[in-house]
């Protein structure tokens, strides 16, 4: 019985891998880096490469999951 009560009141740990890959804005949006940054970039235009340096907002349902794992 005591172990059950102890598990109920424990705080969940922050997922460190997720905290390194995402950031949450002051308004609550979850931002991520765009995909396709590792290789095969020579065929992309310079404008496309510059655009991909910016953070991108995740979808609402994905953001909800990420916030839950970070809390």
CB–CB of 44/21 below 8 Å?
Answer: no
| pLDDT tens, position by position, 7-24 | 666 777 888 999 999 999
Residue 48 CA to residue 52 CA, distance in Å, equals: 6
Going by the DSSP 8-state scheme, the letter that residue 43 receives in this structure is: T
The CATH code that applies to domain 2-70 is 4.10.410.60
Going by the DSSP 8-state scheme, the letter that residue 12 receives in this structure is: P
Residue with tokens 């609550």: 28
List all residues 6 or more positions away from 71 whose beta carbon is below 8 Å from its beta carbon.
12, 14
Read off the pTM.
0.74
* Domain range annotation of the chain: 2-70
| pLDDT tens, position by position, 17-61 | 999 999 999 999 999 999 988 999 999 999 999 999 999 999 999
């Amino acid at each position: 019985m005591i172990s059950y009560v102890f598990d109920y009141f424990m705080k969940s740990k922050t997922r460190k891998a997720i905290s390194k890959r995402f950031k949450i804005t002051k308004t609550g949006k979850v931002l991520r880096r765009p995909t396709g940054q590792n290789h095969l970039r020579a065929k992309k235009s310079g404008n496309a490469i510059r655009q991909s340096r910016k953070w991108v907002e995740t979808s609402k349902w994905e953001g909800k999951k990420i916030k839950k794992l970070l809390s």
